[in-house]
Structure 1
């Protein structure tokens, strides 16, 4: 059976091949009516038409491929970011190559002989920014996720991280907590710096805030909290963790020390991973719309490639209150 061509679609729809090309290339707005665009898409679907991407890419000098750079595939958050980016990419005939930094959050090997030859643009998490040096392709359009808005990039997609910390602080202060431990990520990244700064600004001078840092693993979080709680001075009544993985470690530390959650110690996380409902008690945490981050990242890259300025407000986040937080213990 002969594969239908754009000429076949044009003939069946009663339009020109140029119109078919505009519609199926998603360049029709302002040039073709919505009714005609819908007719072309319906006709192409009915005929089983599939564009010859290789020929089109050769003609346009484009691979229609984006690179998504993330710290690690083992982190559920970034798997969801990829899902969102890939969904938007597929709607526009793009592919997404997922590139996790082999060491999690550090330098990486160049995955391509020539980034310019293989890619149209890059979407990168600030947590994997060091990998960009190895990838090269400095002239490629770059969209940064969860990064300093002042950093060089064609566009930025950020989450309202400071507001997430505000919601945590308000929740715990409302429950009477005044002695806090911040279990901070040891990763040197803007997203964690902004969380730490927001928490300090929110709690000073109404509460006491101590900070301890740990790599992003459950066991590292457990050890850091065990050491912090064994230190001198009054014990904190609430632990604010930079993510759910560290919060799970904090919960393990509390149990090993014979502390009840939340009667003796309230614990909060960040991300709302599946892990948040796997621990007992279930974790109060800030839910981040990871798939929306990916969707906005790919949308921003498409806008940049189309020569359209792209700006958007920070994506909202919200506190999910579960059983790991409660009133501060009575002295």
Structure 2
């Protein structure tokens, strides 16, 4: 160390790197871009590593009035998807000296109580799912630097948006089923007022409207296996031509559809094909394994945190939706002969 057994300071790092203390603060605070060269930034980081220098975050936060804490607001923790979002966000946050507090708001209907005396005083920013927007407003998180996940870029309550390419996921599912020969569809839709589910319904209806000879019926259910089973069973037992494929807004709804199909003495995929959306662990636990759309939850969380860091630094977040991928498994096949 530069001062014997004492802890190295930013002045020691500046002297070792041949730069000013201000340059050290910029580099170690990840605010050097456009202010110092990449070569200088690397020289500062190397000097800090050699000296074993660690910035005093507590002191710096007191000076700057920041806590380096971000709130991630999600609708619930009953699915591993949002656990993946948290993992990705926390990974990026840790690299930049931030912590992430996870705040679930079941079904997006608002929190039981505000977890902070003042969110504006306790937090530097918020990342929130559009399904939890009520909770966001209740804790006044919409008045902080904000990034919305799964949210309409044109109608967001504020801040930047990061989205998965859900519309393309629905296109992939629809084209897969049409290619197999299906023409009669049941849409098992999530009974939640959310932009992401509106996109799914709109894209499905649009794709089928452009294909002659197709029919589409929609029933809604809360995202639970029992609710989905009840809704699907009622729809399948109704009079008229039975759909040959059920398109579900999420994998839990698909699991409920499986139970409904079997209660009616039908089989998957011989009598009816079923698709989901998420690619949860559940998708490979049911039999036959579920054809679904894989959403990269951890990448979603990473991009959300990267966007918030950009907002905090006055930069434009990365543009473009995150790609999704259809995973074809045993739950889909050509429709059987009438």
TM-score interval (norm. to shorter): over 0.9
Partners of 1:50 and 1:243 in 2: CA distance:
45
Please name the residue that 2:240 is paired with: 233
TM, length-normalised to structure 2: 0.93
Post-superposition shift, 1:311? 5.1
Post-superposition shift, 1:293? 1.4
Gaps of at least 5 residues in structure 1 are none
Please name the residue that 1:187 is paired with: 192
Please name the residue that 1:120 is paired with: 124
1:60-87: CA deviation from partner (whole Å, max 9, x where unpaired): 1211211110011221111111111111
Post-superposition shift, 1:291? 1.4
Equivalent of 1:200, from 191, 205, 223? Answer: 205
Post-superposition shift, 1:17? 2.0
Please name the residue that 1:213 is paired with: 220
Please name the residue that 2:303 is paired with: 296
Q: Is the 8 A contact 2:142 2:157 kept in 1?
A: no
Partners of 1:5 and 1:252 in 2: CA distance:
64
Partners of 1:137 and 1:178 in 2: CA distance:
45
Q: Is the 8 A contact 1:65 1:95 kept in 2?
A: yes
Matched, 1:132 2:140: no
Give the 3-state SS of the residue equivalent to 1:97 in structure 2. Answer: strand
1:172-214: CA deviation from partner (whole Å, max 9, x where unpaired): 0111101100000011111101101111111125311111111
Matched, 1:106 2:109: yes
Q: Is the 8 A contact 2:31 2:313 kept in 1?
A: no
Q: Is the 8 A contact 2:126 2:141 kept in 1?
A: no
Give the 3-state SS of the residue equivalent to 1:173 in structure 2. Answer: helix
Distance 1:138 1:193, change over 3 A: closer
Post-superposition shift, 1:263? 1.0
Count the aligned residue pairs: 330
Equivalent of 1:279, from 256, 263, 286? Answer: 286
Aligned pairs (5 A) from 1:143-158: 143-150=147-154, 151-158=156-163
Gaps of at least 5 residues in structure 2 are none
Partners of 2:142 and 2:221 in 1: CA distance:
32
Partners of 1:139 and 1:228 in 2: CA distance:
44
Post-superposition shift, 1:137? 4.2
